[in-house]
Amino acid sequence: MNLRKKINLYTSVLFAFLLILMNISVYVFFSRLIFENEYTSISNEIHKITAIAHESMGTVPEDDLLRAFVPVNGMVRIVAEDRKVISAVTSSDEQELSRDQAEFFNGEVISTLEQDNSLYVLSSVPIVLPDGAIGNLQLTRSMETAAGILKTLRIVLGSVTLLAMIPVLVSSAFLSKIITNPVTSMTTTMREIRESGQFKRLTLEGKSKDELYQMGETFNHMIDLLEANFEKQKQFVSNASHELKTPLTVIESYSSLLKRRGLKEPSLFNESIDAIHSEAIRMREMTEQLLLLARHDEQHKLYIKSIDLKGFLRQIIRTYGEVYKRTIDLEADIEGVTFVQTDENKLKQLLFIFFDNARKYSDDVITVSAGIKEYEAYIRIKDRGIGIPGDELPKVFDRFYRVDKARNRKTGGSGIGLSIAKEIAEAIAVRIKLESTEGEGTAVTLFLKIT
């Protein structure tokens, strides 16, 4: 059973159940009310008859006395303790009641009885007979009017239930259609995507902006992300294979030279070993960057804490300078101690990427300055290298992009570092400002929040 039929069935069954339950409650309430009214009415009536009978019994014949109180649709009688009927008067329409077996009750009794498919209410009260014995004054009255009302009520409630189910079935079918149409459309679209291999989106209709509309928007947004990631993956694979192809070709060429002439020409042997070694190092670095980039495509796990910016910069500058034997000057104009909220390891990784770029493209001193500007702490890394043309600046953070491909290959760049830097900066909420003048150098400024 599909979802649409389930919604239609469950909605109809639930509404029918509630409607039947409500109608049963109404019927029970009114039937109880009608019976209570009948009991009250016959109780009041028999007490009036009893009061008059006590005064008139012995002076007025019992038949004449009872004839004055006989109901038009019932019977009144006096029953002795031995169940013998002393006197009884029955209306002309209820002669069958006189043949009913009499019973004696010790106390006041009100009950219903059924005879010949007819419903009656019986009220019996004790009475003192003229000879001093105890008897029962019993009043029996037909409840056909009340039974007719209840029958009519049953018919009305049943008809109302059946008539109410018509709009319920129509509305549930309409509701199930509204609910399942987006789901059906989404299922059809996903099936078409699977069969054709092409990304497709839902056509959104309506201005209600309800949950179903939002579900369609979310689906389309998800398809946008999948398509964007798919295109990025294709580009990534294409660029990665292209980047790895060059060092592999170099290694293969020099290996062939070594195989043919390496033992005969020592200079060629040394040149080939140096080239293979250099390309192997570049492949290792490129592979590490590719793996790092793949990890950065996943969700970053951040460990935000407050760090002393000046002390942090001194430490990483000293570490980096000792490793690469480069001079890095720190010009910090931060008064006192300034703390920033960030992930220390991610910020260190971000700075090392920019230090690497400054080291590769400049042999001069690298200058690092830090300070506070407009309620933000900043770190500025400046080199005196080749610089970047102005029209190339917006593209340098793209994966595998090179400003000068020949120079980058010589220095070992793969065009991945700045792409990683951009993703790290976005993860730790660092704003990057890149400035460069061709032939004079490049300056990168990182802006951080102050605690």
pLDDT of residue 27: 92
Per-residue pLDDT band at 28 (split at 50, 70, 90): very high
pTM of the model: 0.47
pLDDT higher for 336 or 254?
254
Largest CA distance in the chain: 160
415 or 163: which leads in pLDDT:
163
pLDDT mean across residues, the chain: 81
Please report the pLDDT score of residue 408 as a whole number: 44
Higher pLDDT, 8 or 148: 148
- CATH 3.30.565.10 describes domain 304-449: yes
pLDDT band, residue 165 (cuts 50/70/90): confident
Contact indicator for 139, 43 with CB cutoff of 8 Å:
no
* Average pLDDT, integer, range 30-41: 91
- Give 126 or 296, the one with higher predicted confidence: 126
HEC string for the chain: CCHHHHHHHHHHHHHHHHHHHHHHHHHHHHHHHHHHHHHHHHHHHHHHHHHHHHHHECCECHHHHHHCCCCCCEEEEEECCCCCEEEEEECHHHHHHHHCCCCCCCCCEEEEEEECCEEEEEEEEEEECCCCCEEEEEEEEECHHHHHHHHHHHHHHHHHHHHHHHHHHHHHHHHHHHHHHHHHHHHHHHHHHHHHCCCCCCCCCCCCCCHHHHHHHHHHHHHHHHHHHHHHHHHHHHHHHHHHHHHHHHHHHHHHHHHHHCCCCHHHHHHHHHHHHHHHHHHHHHHHHHHHHHHHCCCCCCCEEEEEHHHHHHHHHHHHHHHHCCCEEEEECCCCCCEEEEEHHHHHHHHHHHHHHHHHCCCCCEEEEEEEECCEEEEEEECCCCCCCHHHHHHCCCCCCCCCHHHHHHHCCCCCHHHHHHHHHHHCCCEEEEEEECCCEEEEEEEEEEC
Report the pLDDT averaged over residues 87-105. Answer: 84
User: Is residue 410's pLDDT more than 50?
Assistant: no
Q: For residues 161-172, give the mean pLDDT.
A: 86
Q: Quick one: pLDDT band at residue 169, thresholds 50, 70, 90?
A: confident
| pLDDT at residue 412 greater than cutoff 50 | no
Q: Where in the chain is the domain with CATH 1.10.287.130?
A: 219-296
Confidence of residue 208 (pLDDT cuts 50, 70, 90): low
Lowest average pLDDT, out of 35-39, 318-322, 445-449, goes to 318-322
Which pLDDT score, from 0 to 100, does residue 242 have? 62
Tell me what pLDDT residue 409 has: 41
Check pLDDT > 70 for residue 188.
yes
Please tell me the predicted confidence (pLDDT) of residue 300.
57
Chain-centre distance for alpha carbon 351: 41
Q: Give the architecture-level CATH label for domain 3-151.
A: 2-Layer Sandwich (3.30)
pLDDT confidence of residue 384: 87
CB atoms inside a 10 Å sphere around CB 77: 24
* 349-406: pLDDT as tens digits: 888 888 888 888 888 889 999 888 888 889 999 988 888 887 777 777 776 666 654 3
Mind listing the pLDDT tens digit for each residue in 11-25? 888 888 998 999 999
Provide CATH code, domain 219-296: 1.10.287.130
* Core vs surface per residue 162-192: b (16+ CB within 10 A) or e: eeebeebeeebbeebeeebebeebeeebeee
Q: Which two tokens mark 295? A: 């990890």
Pinpoint the residues of the chain covered by CATH 3.30.450.20. 3-151
CATH code 3.30.565.10 region(s) in the chain: 304-449
Matching residue, tokens 């005064």: 55
Q: Tell whether the model's pLDDT for residue 33 goes beyond 90.
A: yes
Task: Report which residue type is found at 341.
Answer: Q
Instruction: Work out the average pLDDT over 191-197.
Output: 81
335 pLDDT tier (thresholds 50, 70, 90): low
Q: Is the predicted pLDDT of residue 445 greater than 90, yes or no? A: yes
Q: What percent of the chain has pLDDT over 70?
A: 87
The predicted structure's pLDDT at residue 243: 62
